[in-house]
Amino acid sequence: MITSASAAQETVPNPRAAGYRGIWATLGQMGEYGDKYSGGLGTYTANHVPMAVYDPAADTTFFVYGGSPAGERSLLCLVGSYNHRTGRVARPVIVHDKSPFDDPHDNPSISLDAAGHIWVFVSGRTTIRPGYVYRSAVPHDISRFERIVEREITYPQPWHVPGRGFFHLITRYTKGRELYWETSPDGRTWSDPKKLAGMGGHYQVSGERDGKVATFFNYHPDGDVDRRTNLYYAQTTDAGATWTTADGQPLALPLTEPRNPALVVDYEVQGRLLYTCDLNFDAAGNPVLLYVLSRDYRAGPAGGAREWTIAHWRDGRWQFSTVTTSDHNYDMGSLYVLNDQWLVIAPTEPGPQRWGTGGEMVLWSSRDEGRTWRRLRAITHDSKFNHSYARRPRNARDPFFAFWADGNPDKLSESRLYFTNSTGDRVWRLPYTFPEGAESAEPELVK
């Protein structure tokens, strides 16, 4: 059992940022067609979930992102809020300053407890940089946070389960990027992390619905992230006491061999790579997975058309469909399951920086539970920079239905933050610079 008594109650002053300015970053892994991924990565990675949550008691969407001071490369972990009653955003608050580091792998995730306290989970990087957990001093308010936890946390995925507390999926660098989970009734006292999977390395995306926590993940043969492949799925309905496949088959943990009951598709034998995007649930609580398939880890045409794939557990089996294709492995987007349709919001059309991370945002729709898809509209067009990493708030409400950042993947640029509504016919840009002395401002309607 891990306790945080030494860190709890520490008062952390929280300065306000000048405005909503995303972090620009580059991996530096260059090829003929540019970096493996780069650009405006304020809402990176797909493995930081959730990055926004709608709070019905405050009628406000709280969200986190990675930002930076203007013209600088250092990382700030920030929280913002959009008030649905007033249509205004608060000046963003700096929860944690990661400078001099500028790595968006340290971006935060967010959660909301039953009392309305806002929890910010700041990612660390391996054992070199610790992660942190912060709690708002006052419910439904971002003005002040206290530090609760400081320890190894990477790719935080915190889910607050009513009546149980936090279920937190994390990555630890034990033998590569291995998957763990931990639980806490109050965010202050945590169970010891337990290993879910360790087969050389993994990236995962998870979700929670009515007490069920589900995750899907790939694996890295010989620990090589550029060979990420295969589709695995696991779920728990009892806070990790037992884990099963989608059809209820018990899993013996940790998973240590690539061929095990959690394996859904062996993409390795097909020579295909798998990039996780989003996990949601249909009306019956069955999992729906969104991921991108490719044949090359490098940017450019060698990987062929990147296939946006849906895997849906329905009628006792996994069923698959293709939403569309795009031109980059890291064209990350999100999946929405509504009463009468499913939606995907993602940068699936080429942007001004061809072959770079992201592109133009597009809205895709299905009226038959993901079997077939059609393009509804371009959300952005004629942009200056590529848009990337469209994120879905938990319990998303219009008009703050998806948010993302832009940036030039080819060279250092400013990065701005945007959001759109569920029909994709309106786009707002968050204020890059707030008026002097202002604590809130109206987003700029750009479409």
**pLDDT given for residue 10 in this prediction:** 52
pLDDT tens digit sequence for 194-248: 999 999 999 999 999 999 999 999 999 999 999 999 999 999 999 999 999 999 9
pLDDT tens digit sequence for 297-350: 999 999 999 999 999 999 999 999 999 999 999 999 999 999 999 999 999 999
The first and second tokens of residue 73, run together, are 């490369």
How much is the pTM?
A: 0.96
Instruction: List, in order of start, the domains of the chain with CATH numbers.
Output: 2-445 (2.130.10.10)
Are 310 and 333 contacting, i.e. CB atoms less than 8 angstroms apart?
no
Nearest Cα neighbor of 351 from 309, 315, 381 is 381
CA distance 441 to 1: 44
Q: HSE on the CB side for 375, CA within 13 Å?
A: 14
pLDDT tens digit sequence for 331-346: 999 999 999 999 999 9
pLDDT tens digit sequence for 31-81: 999 999 999 999 999 999 999 999 999 999 999 999 998 768 899 999 999
**pLDDT given for residue 7 in this prediction:** 44
Q: Which positions ≥6 away from 386 have C-beta within 8 Å?
A: 39, 40, 347, 351, 352, 353, 356, 357, 358, 359, 360, 406, 407, 408, 409
**pLDDT given for residue 391 in this prediction:** 98
3-state SS, residue 209: strand
DSSP for 227-274 reads: G-EEEEEEEESSTTS--B-TT--B--SSB-SSSSTTEEE--TTTT-EE
* Residue-averaged pLDDT of the chain: 96
Q: Which positions ≥6 away from 284 have C-beta within 8 Å?
A: none
DSSP for 19-45 reads: S--BPEEE---EETTEESSEEE-TT--
Nearest Cα neighbor of 49 from 231, 290, 262, 356 is 290
Q: Which positions ≥6 away from 35 have C-beta within 8 Å?
A: 26, 27, 28, 29, 299, 356, 357, 409
**pLDDT given for residue 340 in this prediction:** 92
CA distance 34 to 78: 29
pLDDT of 278 higher than 60:
yes
The b/e string for 244-264 (b: 16+ C-beta within 10 A; e otherwise) is bbbeeeebebebeeeeebbbb
Compute the C-alpha angle 285/289/291, nearest 5°: 170
Q: Which positions ≥6 away from 391 have C-beta within 8 Å?
A: 43, 50, 51, 52, 63, 334, 402, 403, 404
pLDDT of 9 higher than 90:
no
Q: Dihedrals φ, ψ of 225, to 5°?
A: -65, -20
Own/partner contacts of 337-341, CB < 8 Å, gap of 24 or more, are 337/280, 337/281, 337/282, 337/283, 337/288, 338/422, 339/283, 340/367, 341/365, 341/366, 341/367
pLDDT of 12 higher than 90:
no
**pLDDT given for residue 128 in this prediction:** 84
3-state SS, residue 204: strand
The first and second tokens of residue 82, run together, are 């959009």
pLDDT of 138 higher than 50:
yes
Mean pLDDT, rounded, for 276-302? 97
CA distance 263 to 204: 13
How buried is 27 (Cβ within 10 angstroms: 0-12 exposed, 13-18 middle, 19+ buried)? middle
Q: Which positions ≥6 away from 157 have C-beta within 8 Å?
A: 47, 48, 49, 109, 168, 169, 170, 204, 205, 206, 215
How buried is 162 (Cβ within 10 angstroms: 0-12 exposed, 13-18 middle, 19+ buried)? exposed
Between strands 93-97 and 374-378, the pairing is unpaired
DSSP for 327-373 reads: S-TT---EEEE-SS-EEEEEEEE--SSTTSS-BEEEEEEESSTTSS-
The first and second tokens of residue 165, run together, are 């507390």
Name the residue with tokens 């806002």.
118
**pLDDT given for residue 25 in this prediction:** 96
Confidence of residue 125 (pLDDT cuts 50, 70, 90): confident
Name the residue with tokens 């649905």.
84
pLDDT of 414 higher than 80:
yes
pLDDT tens digit sequence for 370-404: 999 999 999 999 999 999 999 999 999 999 999 99
User: Bigger pLDDT: 159 or 125?
Assistant: 159
